[in-house]
Amino acid sequence: MTVSPQCAPESDGSLQQQGECQLDFSMPSNKHSPPPYQSNGSKQDSDISSSVGGLKPRLKDYDTGAESGDDLEEEDFRVLLPSIVDEQERLNYKREFDHDHQEYKSLQAELDSINQDLADLNRELNGHPEGSPQFLDAMNEYTRLKNLKRSPDYQIKKKRCKYLRSKLSHIKKKIKNSVTPPVFKFFSYCHFWPRNIMDEEPERAKRWEGGYERTWEVLKEDESGSLKATVEEILFQSKRKRVIESHEQVRLGMMRHLYVVIDCSRSMEDQDLKPNRLTSTLKLMEAFVDEYFDQNPISQVGIITTKNKRAEKLTDLSGNPKKHIAALKKAVDTVCVGEPSLYNSLSQAIQSLKHMPGHTSREILIILSSLTTCDPANIYELIKTLKSLKVRVSVIGLSAEVRVCTVLTRETGGLYHVILDESHFKELLMMHIKPPPASSSSECSLIRMGFPQHTVAALTDQDAKPSFSMSHLDSSSGPGLSLGGYFCPQCHAKYTELPVECKVCGLTLVSAPHLARSFHHLFPLQAFIESPLEELQGDRYCQACQGELKDKSIFTCTSCHTMPRILNGIVAVCPDLGIGKNGDLPWHPVRLNNEFKHFRKMTSNSSAEGKQNVVIMGRKTWFSIPEKNRPLNNRINIVLSRQCKVAPAGAHHLAADFSSALRLIDTELADQADQVWVIGGSSLYKELMESPGSRRLFVTRILKQFECDTFLPEISPDKYRLLPGFPGVPQELQEENDIHYRFEVYESIEQ
């Protein structure tokens, strides 16, 4: 980093910068350095003293006289502060100096603020005619401040300032009088922070000393002479390593509050990422926000940008992904200028995170492009604050490793990575989707939550009343009056989406799938065992997707050593779980064409070439299908019946019961069968839902009640979880012939 004139070293070797105190304890002092607390006419004025040798009186536009506490006599500290005899005493003086100087700056700034206000009021009084309302108001404030300066509290602070000022001056003299060997400093590309206990990192080999020796032996060409396969293998092995390391069941912070700090300095205009670093980062951040809220639905995110030595909030902490994505899209036009400021960015985030409850995780993720940071104060003091507040800071570097970031992440328990390319950038960013481990000192609290149900209303309903959503009260672009929505069970405020914190009563409103998606992080799937494909005995197809195995390696479950076939059930139910009336659908003769198309698509589409899905049904279900539609096309039809001796006309196979049908599929039909679907009736659904192994239920929820005489067994939340989404299954609310319905997918929970 090129040092600015304000940061140039003083003649005594100390670093002077506006708003900072930097004391050099390793360079010998200069005889001609200015006396303690003397102002230097060549320096620009500063609200806070720049160094011990530059602490100057603050008599600016308003001469406060003796009352200001600035012109105080020195105390005798010769007994209190003995001479330095060894390096340990030097370090002790340094720590004492840092601590007292922070207190001195705080007190002096408070006194100066009062004096400056008096100076401003004095000028204001001269500008108003006597007796005018403005003059009287200014005079009242002037009198109040003068009385404040006469108060005992002000006098105590003034005396404390005098004591600290004299003490700091004597410490400075002790340092100058001590003899130490000269230490040379390199000024061109170093950050001039004082030496700190945090710098004493554990001994480890430098990257250029090991780990990269004989790197050419790692890369091997494939048959076509390309290195792509080797690079992909390296990335794959790194992913496998993370999976293996994360399978342990650890305590995680499920309710997260994360601030993402994005560097918008001039270095973000570099084009090593296409089209440039800023655009690439913002596009990846959009995907990150979507995935973050999908995996952490009860968490919140905020975005901060930093450039030109300042930090600015792009979005506040919020659980609304649309708000963040809209802000990221607008940020593409940001002009990248100046240098970033880690100090200001972290301070901005701390202001919000420090008020978060103890049972939530406090995190900051910094995407840093620049190799420099321009900070107004000692960042190591801020790192101590972050550590005390239990804020976890991680950094993704776009250029190279920076030492201050290494210290920052090490002290706060975060991660520090530097990207290789855009794909590696995305991989590192997505690593922060998973909740971090919670510390043993984190609080455990019971959180009150509300589970509102979505209410659908129509204009024809007499009791329906249009209302505003609380989610859009602060937005001019939000929808106006509307029917239906999510209503808080405590105060009945309406919201259009979940999760959200009720603005009226403060209750956290979520749905069961939101908690399920957060809960699954606590019990990650055990890492599968990798083995060569040649060792596989039997059919070479994937037990999950039923596709042919073509890779050189396969992965086997550690629990069952295989992935058993998933059994699927598909059904349409009324609100009371009714599925039939007099051998037909409850809404007959009304037809729901889109619902029927969904049934046909799910049961017909095979994932393995040359194979067909199997549909299993009871005898009554078979005969409820119109004769012209029997058998169901492009599917293997199996009918269950203990009465029939042969398969009904059109049916492909007959089985006595459900278990017999599954044996038939695994033996005679093993080469033909792909997915297995149960399509009715009620007793067969019950047998499917209670059978062992993996099961999925594709349920169409009809939101209108019809008279029924056949019912689906209850879907127990202890045995099945509602999936947030499934490929090929629409998420939107459907409507046909004045009947509303939606599609849901449930998956069995391993016991």
How many CB atoms lie under 10 A from the CB of residue 228?
Answer: 10
Q: Report angle CA 288, 292, 294 to the nearest 5 degrees.
A: 120
**CATH 3.40.50.410 domain locations along the chain:** 247-430
Strands of 272-390, DSSP E: 300-307, 310-318, 361-368
CATH code of domain 247-430:
3.40.50.410
> Which pLDDT does position 22 carry in this prediction?
38
Mean pLDDT over 676-701 rounds to 91
- The yes-or-no verdict on residue 713 having pLDDT over 60 is yes
Mean local confidence (pLDDT), 607-623: 89
Determine the pLDDT at residue 371. 94
Torsion over CA: 425, 426, 430, 431 (sign): negative
Q: Which of 314, 328, 386, 585 is catalytic?
A: 585
What is the arithmetic mean of pLDDT over 311-318? 92
> How far apart (Å, rounded) are the C-alpha atoms in residues 325 and 290?
8
Cis peptide upstream of residue 34 (ω within 30 degrees of 0): no
> Average pLDDT of the chain?
77
> At 674, is the pLDDT very low, low, confident or very high (cuts 50, 70, 90)?
confident
Cα-Cα end-to-end distance for the chain: 58
pLDDT beyond 80 at 629: yes
Specify the amino acid at residue 36: P
Give 62-111 as a DSSP string: S--GGGGS-S-PPP--TTTSPPP-SHHHHHHHHHHHHHHHHHHHHHHHHH
In whole angstroms, give the CA distance from residue 598 to residue 605: 11
Confidence of residue 258 (pLDDT cuts 50, 70, 90): very high
For the chain, state the CA radius of gyration: 36
Annotation marks residue 684 as catalytic = no
What pLDDT is stored for residue 461 in this prediction? 57
Q: Which residue from 370, 324, 320, 326 is spatially nearest to 345, judged by alpha carbons?
A: 370
* pLDDT score at 392: 94
Question: What own/partner pairs with CB < 8 Å and gap ≥ 24 does 655-663 have?
Answer: 655/616, 658/616, 658/684, 658/687, 658/688, 658/691, 661/616, 662/567
Position 447 scores a pLDDT of 76
Q: What is the mean pLDDT of residues 699-705?
A: 94
Lowest mean pLDDT among 146-155, 236-245, 362-371: 236-245
Read off the tokens for 616: 């299993």
Which of 10, 339, 363, 595 is flagged as catalytic?
Answer: 595
Question: What confidence score (pLDDT) does residue 19 get?
Answer: 37
pLDDT band at 415 (very low <50, low <70, confident <90, very high): very high
Residues across the chain: 751
- CATH of 567-748 among 3.40.430.10, 3.40.50.300, 3.40.50.9100, 3.40.1280.10: 3.40.430.10
pLDDT at position 413: 92
DSSP state, 322?
A: H
Round to whole Å and give the CA distance between 25 and 185: 12
Give, for 655, the enclosing helix (H) or strand (E): strand 653-655
Distances in whole angstroms, Cα of residue 669 to Cα of each of 614, 693, 727: 9, 20, 26
In tens, the pLDDT along 380-401 reads 999 999 999 999 999 999 999 9
Does 339 participate in catalysis according to the annotation? Answer: no
- Could you give the percent of the chain with pLDDT greater than 70? 70
Residues 62/116, Cβ–Cβ less than 8 Å: yes
Type of residue numbered 309: K
Note the pLDDT tens digit of each residue in 544-589: 655 667 777 777 776 655 555 789 999 999 999 999 998 889 998 8
Question: What mean pLDDT is predicted for residues 5-32?
Answer: 36
Q: Cβ of 162: how many Cβ atoms within 10 Å?
A: 17
- Entry pTM: 0.48
CA separation for the pair 192, 51 (Å, rounded): 13
**Contact assessment for residue 17 and residue 46, using Cβ atoms and an 8 Å cutoff:** no
Cis peptide before 583 (omega within 30 of 0): no
* Torsion sign over Cα 177, 181, 187, 189: negative
Calculate mean pLDDT across residues 42-53: 34
- 271-314 confidence digits (pLDDT tens): 999 899 999 999 999 999 999 988 888 889 999 999 999 999 99
500-546 confidence digits (pLDDT tens): 888 888 888 888 777 777 666 666 667 777 778 777 655 566 666 55
**Residue burial 377-401, b: 16+ Cβ < 10 Å; e: rest:** bbbbebbeebbeebbbbbbbbbbee
| Residues forming CATH 3.40.430.10 domain(s) in the chain | 567-748
